[in-house]
């Protein structure tokens, strides 16, 4: 999950860097195209990984990638309209949806600490957003819709990890989302890549791939109600990034809220280490 947090922050920076020169569909196409190239190179170097890619769970891959592509587009739009910390704070309604969907569709149990980490996360978010509630922006609704889409994707990912490798999950993600992004792009948009945008293009490709690889591995190792709330830690990190790179206001309440979030995460992790659980062995990459 640490790799996931850093990768999603890298994606946010890359989207901001490319937004002036490319449309959001084109940016998402860069992400999928470079990710697919990287994963095919890895697959050619390690053929046993390619052999883990099959069609047996295609319906779950479609369920994962359809809502995820829509959510990712809405998230990218919001990054161009709202401060980074605001986007990430509103996005953290996702753990609540994920916890609910995990109980309904994965049969996971809502323990006291799992409920507590979600409540602490929301409390931390409210502390951070409190100064801006009177000036609510309609663009925030895009983030809330994206959060729900991401939660559906997370549940589908968790179900896939029972039989699929992380390599197969990210392979199908890029294969399915590449034509969706390209359909909304200028046919020759890649010719506009220059020395100023190449770093952003490479950044979106690598971070987009590593974010989902790390997230898939994390979900294979633990329950969704444990793994997803760890994502709350991305908020104080991105608030600092927004301040350092874009001069966005760095309010002390960001860190107060971050401390509340962190306390909830630690409480849940401590409780999980004490709770015996028999889980099936996750799929391995070989």
For residue range 1-54, what is the model confidence (pLDDT) as tens digits?
888 888 988 988 898 899 889 999 999 999 999 999 999 999 999 999 999 998
The C-alpha atoms of residue 266 and residue 257 are separated, in whole angstroms, by 14
178 close to 31: Cβ distance less than 8 angstroms: no
Q: Using the predicted structure, report yes or no on whether residue 98 has a pLDDT greater than 60.
A: yes
- Please state the pTM of the whole predicted model: 0.76
Q: Using the predicted structure, report yes or no on whether residue 130 has a pLDDT greater than 80.
A: no
> What domain range is 228 assigned to?
2-274
Whether 170 is in a domain gets the answer yes
Q: Tell me the average pLDDT across 270-282.
A: 60
Q: Tell me the average pLDDT across 86-90.
A: 80
Whether 281 is in a domain gets the answer no
Q: Please give the share of the chain, as a percent, with pLDDT higher than 70.
A: 91
Whether 285 is in a domain gets the answer no
Query: pLDDT grade, residue 134 (50/70/90)?
Result: low
Whether 280 is in a domain gets the answer no
Whether 29 is in a domain gets the answer yes
Query: CB within 8 A of 268, min separation 6: which ones?
Result: 113, 114, 116, 117, 226, 229
pLDDT tens by residue, 204-222: 999 988 988 888 888 888 7
Whether 283 is in a domain gets the answer no
Whether 286 is in a domain gets the answer no
Query: How many domains are contained in the chain?
Result: 1
Whether 284 is in a domain gets the answer no
Give Cα separations from 121 to 126, 209, 215, 219, 232 (angstroms). 9, 26, 19, 19, 6
């Amino acid at each position: 999950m640490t790799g996931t947090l850093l990768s999603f922050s890298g994606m946010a920076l890359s989207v901001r860097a490319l937004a002036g020169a490319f449309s959001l569909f084109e940016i998402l196409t860069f992400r999928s195209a470079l990710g697919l190239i990287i994963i095919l190179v890895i697959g050619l170097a390690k053929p046993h990984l390619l052999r883990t890619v099959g069609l047996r769970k295609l319906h779950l891959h479609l369920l994962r990638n359809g809502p995820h592509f829509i959510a990712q587009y809405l998230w990218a739009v919001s990054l161009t309209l709202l401060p980074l910390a605001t986007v990430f704070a509103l996005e953290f309604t996702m753990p609540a949806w994920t916890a609910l969907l995990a109980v309904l569709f994965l049969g996971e149990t809502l323990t006291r600490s799992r409920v507590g980490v979600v409540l602490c996360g929301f409390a931390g978010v409210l502390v951070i957003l409190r100064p801006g509630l009177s000036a609510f922006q309609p663009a925030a609704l895009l983030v809330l819709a994206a959060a729900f889409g991401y939660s559906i994707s997370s549940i589908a990912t968790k179900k896939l990890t029972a039989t699929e490798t992380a390599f197969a999950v990210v392979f199908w993600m890029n294969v399915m989302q590449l034509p969706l992004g390209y359909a909304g792009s200028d046919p020759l948009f890649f010719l506009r890549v220059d020395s100023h945008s190449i770093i952003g293009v490479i950044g979106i490709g690598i971070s987009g791939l590593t974010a989902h690889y790390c997230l898939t591995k994390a979900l294979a190792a633990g329950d969704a109600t444990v793994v997803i709330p760890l994502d709350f830690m991305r908020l104080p990190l991105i608030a600092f990034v927004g301040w350092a790179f874009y001069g966005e206001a760095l309010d002390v309440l960001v860190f107060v809220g971050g401390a509340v979030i962190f306390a909830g995460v630690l409480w849940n992790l401590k409780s999980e280490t004490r709770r015996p659980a028999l889980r099936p062995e996750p799929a391995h990459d070989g």
